[in-house]
């Protein structure tokens, strides 16, 4: 497969074969709990997040309830997640900001979401597409690595990777592809399990590739 378009068409078909129906891996009940779960997932597995959030959301599943909790109460629930100190403070502060600046609602724009403590572009993108169905293609380190292995981007940074992937597929496919990429990366093309020469997509797209692919960090 010589062109990006050819590879993208094959990859899309293969991912549909494997994951035609694919759920959001982070447990949530509304836009706010999704926002908190995504924030907690930084440097932490989704599995771990899903273990800690039930206790947190039992205490508070709205900005109004979360803002009333002390930082230590939040931290006690999420202490097994990485960066628990800063995440607990950010959860408290963003809840207060949602009340003070957004009438207690999670905003529907990238600009407003990215003003919230602990919320970067990737987190905002996840909330925008999964909670509000506004087109976005969240790119994390899993997707960034795969896009490089499959030569869908030159891989300088996640910003470029996001832009390159958006050019290859229409907006109505971004939500599904985001989840498919992540799941495939975890199951078949892991950081240690495949070096760009072992999984079915890598082997099919690049049958003559002999050397491992050295991916650039995000």
CA 151, CA 155: separation in Å to the nearest integer? 8
122 carries an active-site annotation: yes
State the span(s) of the chain assigned CATH 1.10.340.30: 31-131
Give the active site residue among 87, 92, 140, 164. 140
pLDDT of residue 218: 66
Q: What is the pLDDT of residues 126-155, one digit of tens each?
A: 999 999 999 999 998 889 999 999 999 987
Burial classification of residue 80, based on how many CB atoms lie within 10 Å of its CB (0-12 exposed, 13-18 middle, 19 or more buried): exposed
Give the per-residue pLDDT at 36.
Answer: 98
Angle value at C-alpha 108, between 164 and 102, nearest 5 degrees:
140
Residues 6+ positions from 5 with CB-CB distance below 8 Å = 168
**Whole-prediction pTM:** 0.92
The 10s digit of each residue's pLDDT in 24-80 is: 999 999 999 999 999 999 989 999 999 999 999 999 999 999 999 999 999 999 999
Whether 191 has a pLDDT exceeding 90, the answer reads no
Catalytic residue, from 75, 87, 122, 176: name it.
Answer: 122
Query: Could you tell me where in the chain the CATH 1.10.1670.10 domains are found?
Result: 4-22+137-205
16 catalytically annotated: no
> How many percent of the chain have pLDDT more than 90?
89
CATH fold, domain 4-22+137-205, is Endonuclease Iii, domain 2 (1.10.1670)
Over the range 114-153, which residues count as b (16 or more CB within 10 Å of their CB) and which as e?
A: eebbbbebbbbbbbbbbbeeeebbbbbebbbbbbbbbbbb
> Residue written as tokens 């002999």?
210
Separation of alpha carbons 185 and 189, rounded Å: 5
**Could you tell me which residues come within 8 angstroms of residue 205 by beta carbon, excluding any fewer than 6 positions away?**
1, 7, 10, 11, 150, 151
Read off the pLDDT of residues 174-184 as tens digits, 9 standing for 90 and up: 999 999 999 99
- Whether domain 31-131 has CATH 1.10.340.30: the reply is yes
Farthest-apart Cα atoms in the chain, separation: 59
């Amino acid at each position: 497969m010589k062109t990006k378009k050819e590879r993208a068409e094959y990859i899309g078909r293969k991912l549909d074969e494997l994951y035609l129906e694919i759920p959001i891996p982070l447990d949530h009940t509304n836009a706010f709990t999704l926002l908190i779960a995504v924030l907690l997932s930084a440097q932490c597995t989704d599995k771990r997040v899903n273990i800690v959030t039930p206790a947190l959301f039992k205490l508070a599943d709205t900005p109004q309830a979360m803002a009333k909790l002390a930082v230590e109460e939040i931290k006690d629930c999420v202490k097994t997640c990485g960066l628990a100190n800063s995440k607990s403070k950010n959860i408290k502060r963003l809840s207060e900001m949602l009340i003070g600046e957004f009438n207690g609602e999670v905003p529907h724009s990238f600009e407003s979401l990215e003003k919230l403590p602990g919320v970067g572009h990737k987190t905002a993108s996840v909330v925008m597409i999964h909670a509000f169905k506004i087109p976005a293609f969240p790119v994390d380190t899993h997707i960034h690595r795969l896009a490089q292995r499959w030569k869908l981007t030159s891989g300088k940074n996640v910003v470029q990777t996001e832009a390159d992937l958006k050019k290859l597929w229409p907006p109505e496919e971004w939500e599904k592809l985001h989840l498919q990429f992540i799941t495939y990366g975890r199951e078949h093309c892991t950081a240690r399990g495949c070096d760009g020469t072992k999984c079915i997509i890598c082997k099919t797209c690049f049958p003559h590739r002999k050397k491992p692919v050295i991916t650039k960090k995000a």
